[in-house]
Structure 1
Amino acid sequence: MFLLYADESGTPGGADQEHFVLAGITVFERKSHWLSLELDKIAARFNNQDPNSVELHGAPMLSGRKFWRKFDKEDRLNAIKDALRLIDGKYYRVIASVVKKGAISPQDPVYSTFQQLITRFDHFLAREHTHFKNPQRGLILFDKSSKEAPIQALATEFKIDGHEWGKLRNMADVPVFIDSHATRLIQLADLVAYAIFRKYEKQDNQFFEMIENKFDYFGGVQHGLHVSV
């Protein structure tokens, strides 16, 4: 089974931010443990005695809020970049959708980005089957949020009734929502989504540069990034 660890960045409503991002990393089930261990090493830089108490989240790490206030900015930024470098583009690939809310109004940014995310993941799984003789199901794991109910409903709708481009055929079940504290890979998804958000919202490429060649691709074509701005 392939897992897609996913998170959002930005707010779907309100005028204070122009963009909304939904992004994730594809991970084959047997590799998730090893990627988590590498992320643990990065967290241990900030609390070697209890690295599990350290959550890697982009916004507070960049701004130095709360727990992160006592650490040098350079150390915080290097930790974000080192975590993003772990996504090698071979075993782990990024799938993401970013929208400028005004460009798709009145469509709901959550609907738009989730449809892109889940269908691109479904197509990734179909290619694994067709071109690499690797038939696998997929499961999306989201950070817990207030959007759990609408995303679950959308996933069911897309599977039963279809989406704009057809029906989902490779999902094992509807998305699962878990606390980011329980898994490093949700934290990594947060860093990915934040890197993309910073690029489009703030024209800050310093984190995006770590992942710009890590999006899902096949046959020389990038399939993993959808941009509607």
Structure 2
Amino acid sequence: MARRFDLFLQRCHTKHNDPQRGLMLFDESSTEQRLQTLAREFKHKGHSYGKTHNYAEVPVFLNSRATRLIQLADLVAYSIFRHFEHGDSTYWDVIKDHFDEEGGVRHGFVLCDAAHPIPTPFFNKKSSPKRAFL
């Protein structure tokens, strides 16, 4: 997942001259320390596909009650689960065209891509992030 997000940010920079840095947000978890250690290793030592270059910070762990982005990630995961496990496309149909895609393969949900803006009750125009990759 870290590599896919890094590639997404790299493509944004290359194709759209948009040199943003990424920030990974996670729901609080007992694996927090291990994930932060892995992120540092990916940045400084690399992993099997190379090093990550586009992160602003190590992963941040937040209580899902404290931020709407974690809640949004839960909703996206739920819609994917309902679609693929139970054939219920009610929520999937709203988000299905908002995934990062490369070579015909979907990788991650993009909340605010300029090419595919998605209406959401979580943000208004003033507070909406430019992009969110879930």
TM norm structure 2: 0.69
Correspondence for 2:111: none
1:190 counterpart residue number = 74
Secondary structure in structure 2 of the residue aligned to 1:159: helix
Alpha-carbon separation, structure 2, partners of 1:197 and 1:163: 29
Q: Whole-Å Cα distance in 1 between the matches of residues 68 and 48 of structure 2?
A: 33
CA 1:167–1:183 in structure 2 vs 1: closer, same or farther (change >3 Å)? same
How many Å separate the matches in 2 of 1:151 and 1:138? 16
CA distance in 1, matches of 2:9, 2:35: 20
Question: In structure 2, the residue corresponding to 1:153 is in which secondary structure?
Answer: helix
1:20-99 mapped onto 2 (5 Å cutoff): none
RMSD value, Cα? 2.0
Structure 2's unaligned 5+ residue stretches are 109-134
Match of 2:22 among 124, 135, 138: 138
Q: What SS class does the counterpart of residue 177 from structure 1 fall into?
A: strand
Q: Determine if contact 1:139/1:173 at 8 Å carries over to the other structure.
A: yes
Q: Which runs of structure 2 are paired with 1:62-211 in the superposition (5 Å)?
A: 117-211=1-95
CA distance in 1, matches of 2:104, 2:69: 26
Q: 1:131 deviation in Å?
A: 1.4
Which string of whole-angstrom CA distances, capped at 9 and with x for unpartnered residues, describes residues 41-99 of structure 1? xxxxxxxxxxxxxxxxxxxxxxxxxxxxxxxxxxxxxxxxxxxxxxxxxxxxxxxxxxx
How many aligned positions are there?
A: 108
Unaligned runs of 5+ in 1: 1-116
Partner of 1:224: 107
Please say if residues 215 and 222 of structure 1, whose CA atoms lie closer than 8 Å, have aligned partners that are also in contact: no
**The structure with more radius of gyration:** 1
Secondary structure at the counterpart of residue 35 of structure 2: helix
* Offset of residue 223 of structure 1: 4.4
- The alpha carbon displacement at 1:140 in A equals 0.8
Q: Give the drift of 1:205.
A: 2.9
Greater percentage in helix: 1
Deviations 1:22-58 (A, max 9, x none): xxxxxxxxxxxxxxxxxxxxxxxxxxxxxxxxxxxxx
For residues 212 and 122 of structure 1, the distance between their equivalents in structure 2, rounded to whole angstroms, comes to 22
Note closer, same or farther for the CA distance 1:138–1:198 as it changes in structure 2 (3 Å cut).
same
> Quick one: distance in 1 between partners of 2:82 and 2:33?
27
SS of residue matched to 2:61:
strand
> In the alignment, which residue of structure 2 is the partner of 1:214?
98
- How high is the sequence identity, in percent, across the aligned residues? 54
